[in-house]
Amino acid sequence: MSHQQEPRPVRFLLVEDDQDHAELVRLALAENRIANELDHVTDGELALRYLRNQPPFQSAPRPDILLLDLKLPRVDGHEVIREVKHDADLKRLPIVVLTTSDAESDRVNAYNEHVNSYLVKPVDFERFHEMIRTLGLYWTVWNQPPR
């Protein structure tokens, strides 16, 4: 039997202050059978601590993708992007902004900060579902990160 390319489980770190939204993302990934591990933190400060294995995340695994909301308490999404992209150890981590903000200033700033992708959460549920499905497939099946 030939070696079919199996989707490998991809580890997402979701940074989202709204618990209900985090749950919607988790449900949409699960229902679309996207092979994944999903960790969730609620603000930018915790996200940076998680990525740097600072307390209480000393044993947190390195995620493959960062799913990042922009409007976050304490350290906001833009600061997280800047910190990650200026960190020699973290800068290759793909960051996908997942936000309800479609402000041009947010988009411009995020790309200036070298974000990898910018997605606006659709208000319509079917489209939201479809977006999470495509996002999951793209990053788990098609995207080839550096080894």
Partner 1 sequence: MTDRQGRITYVNDRFCAVSGYSRHQLIGKTHRLVNSGTHPREFFADLWQTVLAGKIWKGTICNRDRAGNLLWLATTIAPLRDTSGAIVGFISVRHDDTELERAQQRLRSKNAELEELVYTVSHDLKNPLVTITGYITYLDRCITSGDIPQARAHADRIRRASVRMRQTIDDILRLCRVGIARTTLAEIDIDPVYRGVIEQFIPTLTARGIRMRTAFAAPSLRADPEQLAHVLQNLIGNAIAYGCGVDEPTITVGTERRGIGVCLSVADQGAGIDPRFHERIFRAFTRLHTDVEGTGLGLAIVRRIAEAHGGSAWIDSTPGQGACFNLMFPGLPPDPHQTEPTPDLSRTPARDAGPATLALEPRP
Contacts with partner 1 by CB under 8 A lie at: 17-21, 24, 27, 42-43, 71, 73-74, 99-103, 105-106, 121-125, 128
Contacts of 59 (CB under 8 A, 6+ apart): 53
Residue 74 C-beta: closest distance to partner 1, Å: 6
Residue 134 C-beta: closest distance to partner 1, Å: 17
Cα separation, 87 vs 94, in Å, equals 13
* Range 64-77 burial, b when 16+ CB lie within 10 A, else e: bbbbbbbebeebbb
Nearer residue to partner 1 within complex by CB, 72 or 81: 72
Residue 116 C-beta: closest distance to partner 1, Å: 21
Q: Reduced to 3 DSSP states, what percent helix, strand and coil does the chain have, rounded to the nearest 5?
A: 40, 15, 45
Nearer residue to partner 1 within complex by CB, 61 or 73: 73
Nearer residue to partner 1 within complex by CB, 91 or 103: 103
Residue 54 C-beta: closest distance to partner 1, Å: 17
